[in-house]
Amino acid sequence: MPDRKKFVYLPKAKNDFVVIGRGAAGSPEQEPPRAPGSRVVRPKKRSFAVDQSVTLAGVRLKNPVVVASGTFGFGREYGEFYDLSELGGICCKGLTLHRREGNPPPRIAETPMGILNSVGLQNPGVDAFIAHELPELRRHDLAVIANISGNTPEEYGIMCEKLSDAGVDLIEVNISCPNVKAGGLAYGTRPELAAEVTSVAKAHAGKTPVMVKLSPNVTDITEIARAVAGAGADALSLINTLRGMRIDVNTRRPILKMNTGGLSGPAVLPVAVRMVWEVHNALPGMPILGMGGVAKGEDAAQLMLAGASAVAVGTACFADPYAPIRVRDGLAEIAQRQGLDKVSALTGAVKPW
């Protein structure tokens, strides 16, 4: 087991590895149950006769599985389990212009079928990422996606310029963090501000494509999607976490020190599928990175059928570091079983009633 002290940019649950999502009983993805805290099982190597490559905003991914920002740090810790080149890409922990310590603990709370987090963008700052993390990631063959949050549109612009110069493959502009006072949801819930941040990001990102990460905490996600598309976004990622709250009935205190946090994990998957479907219908040509509760291949296939070009695996990584590999293989198996020659044929292929 890797040294947990090194997991500095990952939120910590009470138990190190909790079972959050598993394959349906009898499905090929199902692993034998294991006791909490016991060793995780490496999936068997499998090969498939389907083309797993996809394109997201002009960036080729060797397979459609990316790891979601905030659940995988900068890859170092998970790299002790497997070669990161097995992944299509990594969305790195959210960066800000300057280093942040994040919010006070407790900032992680388990929920039925998921977790609430109020991490508050703990990160080493964009310059430290470029100096220390990016060169390490570049040793692997995967797309590097930098996720950024700013207090002002100008901060987004400065970070885009630095990251584009540094040669990241894609910039994920986060306008949807529910855990910060400035920026975050204030941008992601107002179409005109979302558009302003997007156009500043685009103006400073050079040739690097810009993907905007949308919040589900809105009445109509297509309104925000259209606004950022109109401002030049090259792709959209959705969904970020849903705002939620847990209360200790004995102390009558919220479990999280920030009172509220963002809900992720299998509980949010149907919301994510619905929102990806709505955005894909509203903007059929817009590439989408779908995420929210993906724990197995079937979850990923639902998001792709709804319109995603690629999918991100997040919270499931805390329960099982190999979750992205299982999702990748499960997805390829579904495509193969359905007689497709490429996984990308699933995108948008839902047959609505």
Give the pair of three-digit tokens for residue 55: 């394109």
Nearer to ligand SIN, 70 or 89 (CB): 70
CB under 6 A: which stretch of 25-33, 50-58, 71-79, 117-125 binds ligand SIN?
117-125
Nearer to ligand SIN, 174 or 208 (CB): 174
Amino acid at the residue 7: F
CB under 6 A: which stretch of 79-87, 169-177, 288-296, 334-342 binds ligand SIN?
169-177
Asked whether position 119 contacts ligand SIN by CB under 6 A, the answer is yes
Nearer to ligand SIN, 70 or 307 (CB): 70
Nearer to ligand SIN, 63 or 103 (CB): 103
Asked whether position 121 contacts ligand SIN by CB under 6 A, the answer is yes
Distance in Å, CB of 37 to ligand SIN, minimum: 25
In eight-state DSSP terms, residue 51 is B
CA separation, residue 164 to residues 69, 143, 150, 170, 200 (Å): 18, 14, 16, 8, 14
Are the beta carbons of 129 and 123 closer than 8 angstroms?
Answer: yes
Q: Residue 61's beta-bridge partner residues?
A: 54
CA distance 53 to 260: 38
| Whether residue 92 lies in the annotated active site | no
Are the beta carbons of 215 and 240 closer than 8 angstroms?
Answer: yes
Nearer to ligand SIN, 199 or 240 (CB): 240
246-253: long-range contacts, CB 8 A cutoff, minimum separation 24: 246/109, 246/111, 246/116
Q: Of residues 199, 208, 241, 347, which one binds ligand SIN by CB under 6 A?
A: 241
Q: Of residues 89, 94, 290, 292, which one binds ligand SIN by CB under 6 A?
A: 94
Asked whether position 262 contacts ligand SIN by CB under 6 A, the answer is yes
Where do the DSSP E strands lie in the chain?
54-56, 59-61, 65-67, 89-91, 108-111, 114-117, 143-148, 170-174, 210-213, 235-238, 242-244, 247-248, 253-254, 261-264, 288-291, 310-313
Residue 245: Cβ within 10 Å count = 15
Asked whether position 143 contacts ligand SIN by CB under 6 A, the answer is no
Asked whether position 199 contacts ligand SIN by CB under 6 A, the answer is no
Distance in Å, CB of 119 to ligand SIN, minimum: 3
Give the pair of three-digit tokens for residue 149: 């949050």
Asked whether position 254 contacts ligand SIN by CB under 6 A, the answer is no
Distance in Å, CB of 284 to ligand SIN, minimum: 27
Distance in Å, CB of 346 to ligand SIN, minimum: 27
Task: Report the helix count and the strand count for the chain, using DSSP H and E.
Answer: 10, 16
Over the window 74 to 93, marking each residue x when it contacts ligand SIN by CB under 6 A and - when it does not, the resulting string is: --------------------
Asked whether position 171 contacts ligand SIN by CB under 6 A, the answer is no
Locate all alpha helices (DSSP H) within 31-184, ordered by sequence. 126-128, 134-137, 153-166
Distance in Å, CB of 48 to ligand SIN, minimum: 33
Asked whether position 293 contacts ligand SIN by CB under 6 A, the answer is no
- Choosing from 91, 160, 177, 317, the catalytic residue is 177
CA distance 348 to 306: 5
Q: Of residues 73, 75, 89, 120, which one binds ligand SIN by CB under 6 A?
A: 120
* Nearest partner of 161 among 127, 191, 136, 134, judged by Cα: 127
CB under 6 A: which stretch of 17-25, 79-87, 116-124, 281-289 binds ligand SIN?
116-124
Q: Of residues 63, 71, 96, 174, which one binds ligand SIN by CB under 6 A?
A: 174
Q: Can you say whether the dihedral through the CA atoms of 126, 128, 132, 135 is positive or negative?
A: positive
Residues engaged in binding ligand SIN (CB under 6 A): 70, 94, 117, 119-121, 174, 176-179, 240-241, 262
Active site (catalytic) residues: 177
